[in-house]
Structure 1
Amino acid sequence: MKHFRLSLILIVAVILFSLSACSNVKKSGDKIEDFTFTDQSGKKFGLQDLKGKVWVAHFMFTSCTTVCPQLTKDMGDLQKAIKEKGYDDVNFVSFSVDPEIDTPVALKTYASHFEPDFSSWHLLTGYSQEKIEKFGMDNFKAWIKKPENDTQVVHDTKFFLFNKDGEVVKDYSTSNGFPLDEIVKDIKALR
């Protein structure tokens, strides 16, 4: 009887694990702090505007000479893929890590090269360097640092997926390429 019970528990555990593996999206419960910043149109935009929506975020800056153009292209590709699926309620947020340089006009000009739909993609600025560095660490566990006497900001290159409750449910490394299909699949599961 003892072996039967142990076998039954093991079988149930394997089934539950298999079912949970169907979708990698898990509710983490880590909510992002409330924020209101300025978007590429010079309008206030914040967490309240994202309430009840699935959204994806990342960090970038317009004078970046390394990864940011690719990250921004990836965000544009993701937005296009989501629109093709007909998911109208998904938003995209790019936080500038160089707010002193990245004015709303600079952000809009920069993003225009990636064919954005600004109705659902918001590039944010309007805070201090200290604020974005703290905001990134506190809410994303993302390291951001602008070295003195350097135009290049060191920052995290992950993409972050949020559910409709404003909770981070998953992050995606871009070190081995952009996981577009995985993010689209996970967004579908959250809708």
Structure 2
Amino acid sequence: MSFRNQFNKEFSVTSLKGKVHLVNFFFVSCTTICPIMAHNLKDVVLGNNNIDLLSFTIDPENDSISVLKKYHKNVAENVPNWTFLRGNKKDLRNIAKLYLSYITNNGSDDSYFYHSSSVVLLDKKMRIRGVYDSLDKEEIALLERDIKILSKK
């Protein structure tokens, strides 16, 4: 699987082994859940060096590197531990399966995806430790608690 970040640098998901991290899926032109998700997740990771956030676009055709870079500047400029990633649909499907992200493909090929407001928490051994609704303040509080617990281990 190959992904590039908002600065057009190749990014290996396995580089986060040994770090607690979060994964979510979004697309820049989303006007429904994505802005709320971004706001809530920014609050979780801002100033927290114990966690990294990976946000994979599900719309790589429209979310070019330059679009992701601009989005990063607008949404997460002061959050160095938040990485926006894009790849091809096949790699996206594989990473979604890896993270049990609740991305669903209703087509027979890789041409159609939709996503949920879920964010996946992984421990230092890259094991899934929880899935949280990033739109729900109570679940965000649980996520923050669980990050603290995992960061101590």
Same fold (TM over 0.5): yes
* Alpha-carbon offset, residue 159 of structure 1: 0.8
Question: Please, which runs of 5 or more residues in structure 2 have no aligned partner?
Answer: none
Match of 1:64 among 30, 40, 54: 30
Question: Partners in 2 of 1:65 and 1:105 — Cα distance?
Answer: 19
TM-score by length of structure 2 reads 0.82
SS of 1:143 mapped into structure 2:
coil
In structure 2, the residue matched to 1:77 is: 43
* Alpha-carbon offset, residue 36 of structure 1: 3.8
Quick check: 1:164 aligned with 2:132?
Answer: no
* Alpha-carbon offset, residue 115 of structure 1: 3.5
Match of 1:154 among 114, 128, 132: 114
SS of 2:76 mapped into structure 1:
coil
Question: Please, which runs of 5 or more residues in structure 1 have no aligned partner?
Answer: 1-34
In structure 1, the residue matched to 2:62 is: 101
Question: For the structure 1 residues 45 and 154, does the alpha-carbon distance in structure 2 shift closer, same or farther, using more than 3 Å as the test?
Answer: same
In structure 1, the residue matched to 2:50 is: 89
In structure 2, the residue matched to 1:5 is: none
In structure 1, the residue matched to 2:87 is: 126
* Alpha-carbon offset, residue 59 of structure 1: 0.6
SS of 2:21 mapped into structure 1:
strand
CA RMSD of aligned residues (A): 2.3
Question: Partners in 2 of 1:62 and 1:146 — Cα distance?
Answer: 21
CA contact (8 A) 2:96 2:103 kept: yes
* Alpha-carbon offset, residue 107 of structure 1: 1.2
CA contact (8 A) 1:97 1:133 kept: no
Quick check: 1:189 aligned with 2:153?
Answer: no
Which structure has the greater CA radius of gyration?
A: 1
TM-score by length of structure 1 reads 0.67
Question: Partners in 1 of 2:61 and 2:81 — Cα distance?
Answer: 24
Which letter does structure 2 place at the counterpart of 1:47?
V
